[in-house]
Structure 1
Amino acid sequence: MWMPDRNNKKTLYEQIADHLEQRISYGEFPPGSLLPSERRLAEQLGVNRSTVISAFAELRSMGIIESRSGSGTRVSTSKWGATPKHTPNWSRYAEGGSFLPNLPFMRRIREALAQYPSLIDFASGELSADLAPTQEISSLMSKHEYTSYLGYDNPQGSIPLREALVDYLQQHRGIRTTESSILITSGSQQSLYLITQCLLSPGDAVAIEDPSYCYSLPMFQSAGLRLFRLPVDQDGVMPEDVRALYKKHRIKMVFLNPNFQNPTGTVLSSERRKRLLDIASELGLPIVEDDPFSLTSYEAAPPLPLKAMDNVGSVLYMGSFSKIAASGLRVGWMVAPHSIVERLADARQQMDFGLSIIPQQIAGQFLQSPLLLPHLDNLRMQLQFKRDLLMESLEKELSGLVEFVAPEGGLHLWCKLIPNIPEGKLLEESIKHGTVFVPGSVYGSDPGYVRFTFARAKLEQIAPGIAGFAKALRALMV
């Protein structure tokens, strides 16, 4: 992100004016488009508001921008007397299209993290750099020469990776499958996108957990799907709720995260798993099972996935490298009937002609290497340590003001706030105190919940981060 140089001979306001003029000339801000407010731009650039006011005044004097009370500052439509005749209305295009933007809270979190790199990040659902197998992957890359053809690969995904996944899924998740029933994707979100776009139609009804990570993804609404919620308690969803939704709304598909559910951390009980599969089989209802967290189980082995118990082919199973190794490799997978794999592979080929071959090669080698199990053991140990430190910090800073149940795996801690504080104000105040989190309503829950991801922050950041959040909460309680 560009920032003014305080050692430059030009004044700060002149640098800002020059920078904005350049972006306008490049077409980043077309004629008529709205510029950031003076206050927001001052915050982004780390300067006084008066500096931005001077920069805007400089641009107004040149006829580049114009300001109107109550309407903000916009790029002039008649710069230096030359009226553009065929400039597209880019604002209208940006607001159009069928694919919806991210939720406002998620956009604000992303903006804050980009604007303030020093923020302590309890929002991003990924591993910190020290938890990723960086040295292991570097070692594999140094030992293997990548001399194979670097053209387009099989649209279903690299055959060696799919073969490695056959062994991995049977050994670690109890799932028996073949390489022809596996589709490689760029992660669970691409798997979900392909399912919503290719296997469902606008107007179809689907069931998702409440709260649920799926609720935070506008791709469901973009596909025109009708969402119906399955409340989650301490043992997961109630199978009979699925039957009730099918009878009332003729739901076409159920989306579940049975092990260490995001965001609550709950585990669907064994009894409910069996009953759920019986109901799905009886109704001919597909279940999409997202299983990114099972191998992060801290102590006891988690229950087998629904797919491992599925004898009739009701379950589409999704997994990912992101939560157990490296999100940046962008490698995920789906286990499904071959006809579904072929359909989705065809659609994915239309999107990107398949994934990069090198990350697939790295992932396949890592899954088959003796480095995998030691990495997973260390990952579980470190995640549990971070979880405990987060809970200790919450008890110290917010005793009596927050409630939670310790998850036995995963990356997230789901918290109920006792004080009734508006979520937007709490997020903004927390950002001011150097910490960012995800408000609970992002996942469809009632207001008053927050999700803290403890995998992304460094160990030494967790206590100060919660202290900052506590200051923000108490400031709004006054």
Structure 2
Amino acid sequence: MEWKPNREDKKPIYKQIADYIEHGISSGEFPPDSVLPSERTLAKELQVNRSTVVAAYEELQALGVIERKKGSGTRVSTDIWGIAHKRIPNWGRYMEDGSFLPNLPLVQRIRTETQKNDLINLASGELSPSLFPTSQFRTILSEVPFEGQLGYDHPQGNELLRKTISAHVKEYKNIEIDPASILITSGAQQALHLIVQCLLKPGDAVAIEDPSYCFSLPIFQSAGLRTFLLPVDQHGINPDDLVSLHKKHRIRMLFLNPDYQNPTGTVLSLERRRRVLELSSEFGIPIIEDDPYSLTSFKEEVNPTLKSMDTNGNVLYISSLSKIVASGLRIGWVIGPPQVIQRLADAKQQVDFGHSVFPQWVAHEFLGSEYFSTHISMLRKQLKQRRDEITSSIKDLLDSQVEYFAPEGGIHLWCKLKSSVNEYSLLEESMKNGVAFVPGSVFGSRKGYVRFTFGRGETTLIHEGILRFAAALKSIQ
């Protein structure tokens, strides 16, 4: 075998060997039922450890392209062509080579585990079902006739809903905007994806908060962006840090969650908001303002959004109904300059031909009715009650072991563990005990933190959830 692995390549050597043999099988160099070199022989020939060859052969066996039998050696499978002599695709390779990256394995694991009914869910970043306006939706669906059309709607979303959102953000957020400057999206997640794909290019430098929800999103890495972190303190990011980053890396876009930030629950101070807007204008850096939580203010005072303070059109404003009404409704929106909105709308059309007419109709009816203000009032009271329940439970059960910041809105509690523990071992033990949380490292560079979502946990189960977490923490210390 003349081929040799490239030891300077970032790809593991066993994968290089597996790739080479698989290519040889595809090209016919190694035909079906032909015998491949033994592990020991191939290891000697390629000057690698035998365990490296074993790993390569195990991967090829998992793909179904080779067969390994004790006493018979390793052979190319006779079944790789499948029925009617058609080659079976190497789906593992396709999944590995795709440009759109998967979620972190830990995130996937948490999402799978939280589907179990016997597990107390303090991990999922959403409201509990008891906080959804289910009865109001039933009333709308039963009493209000649907008068929309069932074909493809306007590329930017239903016009009636965009008018309703325009009135909504003026009343609640002091944002004056024409419906032509609004795009309806499938939640805030799609809005972020469209912005990244349409307005940035591989190699661009972007700044995100540390910690932040954005840190866990693979969309930045999938797009080939360079992400730089802005530390978050009790008043949000420090604008001076943005200046330093921009001088070094020429920041092309800034992503912020100013109100009841996920995961810390902090609020960007008014003074810092003004300074961030000044820097945006000075350097020409667009700001992506993600605002899922501002209406949850326990004090019923909504802070001025960056968009409402923006006089130059530098802010793209994202919000949704996911965190304040119902996550399954999948209604979000982007507000920005008309030409940008049209660009994003064109991309959305290429992906899904526009949003479904039914959730848009329900959202229009709900947002434009008296139901909405009543629901928000209820939500604030319920979330504050849950916040108080989780903080009192932590004080009773974990007071000497955890530090936390009690937010005045939002749905998350950010906790620092006073002792040094492996947060992944803690998660495993916690899930064995029947409670889930999210390790802090999912959200950024800091170690020794955990995030509890009190908005997802039912009030009657929060104390029990913290009790189970405390037992898990004790068992691994």
TM norm. shorter chain > 0.5: yes
Q: 2:130 corresponds to which residue?
A: 130
Deviation per residue, 1:162-195 (Å, 9 max, x gap): 0001110010001010000000000111000001
How many residue pairs match? The answer is: 406
| Alpha-carbon distance in structure 2 between the residues aligned to 1:213 and 1:148 | 36
**How do residues 352-391 of structure 1 correspond to structure 2 at under 5 angstroms?**
352-391=352-391
**Contact 2:214 2:443 (8 Å CA) reproduced:** yes
Deviation per residue, 1:267-303 (Å, 9 max, x gap): 0001111111111111111000000000000015132
Pairing 1:100–2:108 present:
no
How far apart are residue 113 of structure 1 and its match? 2.2
How far apart are residue 441 of structure 1 and its match? 0.4
**Contact 1:77 1:83 (8 Å CA) reproduced:** no
Deviation per residue, 1:58-109 (Å, 9 max, x gap): xxxxx9x98989xxxxxx9759x98965111111112220111101210110
1:252 aligned counterpart, secondary structure: strand
- Larger Cα Rg: Structure 1 or Structure 2? 2
CA pair 77-187 structure 1, distance change in 2 beyond 3 A: farther
**How do residues 97-176 of structure 1 correspond to structure 2 at under 5 angstroms?**
97-114=98-115, 116-176=116-176
> What TM-score comes out, normalization by structure 2 length?
0.82
Q: 1:221 corresponds to which residue?
A: 221
CA pair 68-299 structure 1, distance change in 2 beyond 3 A: farther
2:251 aligned counterpart, secondary structure: coil
- Opposite residue 475 of structure 1, the aligned amino acid is S
Deviation per residue, 1:192-245 (Å, 9 max, x gap): 000100000000000000001000101011000000011100100111211211
Give the 4+ runs in structure 1 shifted more than 2 A: 65-69, 76-79, 81-85
- Name which of structure 1's ranges 144-153 and 386-395 shifts more when overlaid on structure 2: 144-153
How far apart are residue 405 of structure 1 and its match? 1.1
Q: 1:413 corresponds to which residue?
A: 413
1:371 aligned counterpart, secondary structure: helix
| Alpha-carbon distance in structure 2 between the residues aligned to 1:68 and 1:119 | 43
**Contact 2:172 2:302 (8 Å CA) reproduced:** no
Q: 1:393 corresponds to which residue?
A: 393
- Opposite residue 312 of structure 1, the aligned amino acid is N
Q: 2:287 corresponds to which residue?
A: 287
Q: 1:319 corresponds to which residue?
A: 319
Deviation per residue, 1:358-406 (Å, 9 max, x gap): 1001101111101111110000000000011011111111121000010
CA pair 247-148 structure 1, distance change in 2 beyond 3 A: same
**Contact 1:255 1:288 (8 Å CA) reproduced:** yes
Q: 2:44 corresponds to which residue?
A: none
Structure 2: runs of 5 or more not aligned: 1-63, 71-76
Q: 1:341 corresponds to which residue?
A: 341
| Alpha-carbon distance in structure 1 between the residues aligned to 2:431 and 2:84 | 42
CA pair 85-417 structure 1, distance change in 2 beyond 3 A: same
| Alpha-carbon distance in structure 1 between the residues aligned to 2:423 and 2:67 | 35
How far apart are residue 110 of structure 1 and its match? 1.5
Pairing 1:190–2:170 present:
no
How far apart are residue 117 of structure 1 and its match? 2.5
| Alpha-carbon distance in structure 2 between the residues aligned to 1:200 and 1:286 | 11
> What TM-score comes out, normalization by structure 1 length?
0.82
**How do residues 25-104 of structure 1 correspond to structure 2 at under 5 angstroms?**
78=79, 85-104=86-105
**Contact 1:153 1:357 (8 Å CA) reproduced:** yes
Q: 1:460 corresponds to which residue?
A: 460
How far apart are residue 246 of structure 1 and its match? 1.2
| Alpha-carbon distance in structure 2 between the residues aligned to 1:185 and 1:235 | 30
| Alpha-carbon distance in structure 1 between the residues aligned to 2:221 and 2:127 | 28
- Opposite residue 226 of structure 2, the aligned amino acid is R
| Alpha-carbon distance in structure 2 between the residues aligned to 1:77 and 1:118 | 46
**How do residues 237-252 of structure 1 correspond to structure 2 at under 5 angstroms?**
237-252=237-252
- Opposite residue 120 of structure 1, the aligned amino acid is I
**Contact 1:259 1:302 (8 Å CA) reproduced:** no
| Alpha-carbon distance in structure 2 between the residues aligned to 1:187 and 1:356 | 12
**RMSD after superposition:** 1.9
- Name which of structure 1's ranges 405-414 and 444-453 shifts more when overlaid on structure 2: 444-453
| Alpha-carbon distance in structure 1 between the residues aligned to 2:84 and 2:156 | 51
Q: 1:202 corresponds to which residue?
A: 202
- Name which of structure 1's ranges 349-358 and 92-101 shifts more when overlaid on structure 2: 92-101
CA pair 77-99 structure 1, distance change in 2 beyond 3 A: farther
Structure 1: runs of 5 or more not aligned: 1-62, 70-75
1:415 aligned counterpart, secondary structure: strand
Q: 2:57 corresponds to which residue?
A: none
How far apart are residue 148 of structure 1 and its match? 2.6
| Alpha-carbon distance in structure 1 between the residues aligned to 2:358 and 2:214 | 29
**Contact 2:173 2:302 (8 Å CA) reproduced:** no
CA pair 475-67 structure 1, distance change in 2 beyond 3 A: farther
CA pair 400-176 structure 1, distance change in 2 beyond 3 A: same
| Alpha-carbon distance in structure 2 between the residues aligned to 1:132 and 1:324 | 8
2:281 aligned counterpart, secondary structure: helix
Percent identical across equivalent pairs? 55
